[in-house]
Amino acid sequence: MLPELPDIETAAREQLAAVLTPELAPATLDLDADLVGSYALTSLNKVLFLTEVCEATGVGLAHFTEHDLATMRTLRDVTEALTRYAPKGA
């Protein structure tokens, strides 16, 4: 039996909080805040965040083109994109 995957928004909040300096509480993150402008997410940290959230949710990073990744500007953008490819029941 496969382990249950976390809710996509919860996983995205947790993974984003983990790469921020200083780390913020996941619940305090604004879904509509710009990842770069509001949270000063570097390109490297964005890649780390997206890789980790894809792994945590069971969504393959290969689903996304470079353009898709570039248009993920907010946490809401990320959760909506991941939701399209989430395994059933995630």
Q: What's the pLDDT tens digit per position in 24-59?
A: 999 999 999 999 999 999 989 999 999 999 999 999
Q: For 62-77, how does the pLDDT look when each residue is reduced to its tens digit (9 = 90+)?
A: 999 999 999 999 999 9
Closest C-alpha to 77, from 27, 17, 25, 35: 35
CA–CA separation, 83 and 59 (whole Å): 9
Give the CATH fold of the 26-85 domain.
Answer: 1.10.1200
More confident residue, 46 or 4: 46
What per-residue confidence (pLDDT) applies to 1? 46
Alpha helices in the chain (DSSP H): 8-19, 43-57, 66-71, 75-85
CA–CA separation, 81 and 54 (whole Å): 10
What the block records as the tokens of 68 is: 């898709």
CA–CA separation, 21 and 7 (whole Å): 24
Does this model's pTM top 0.85? My answer is: yes
Listed by start position, the domains of the chain span: 26-85
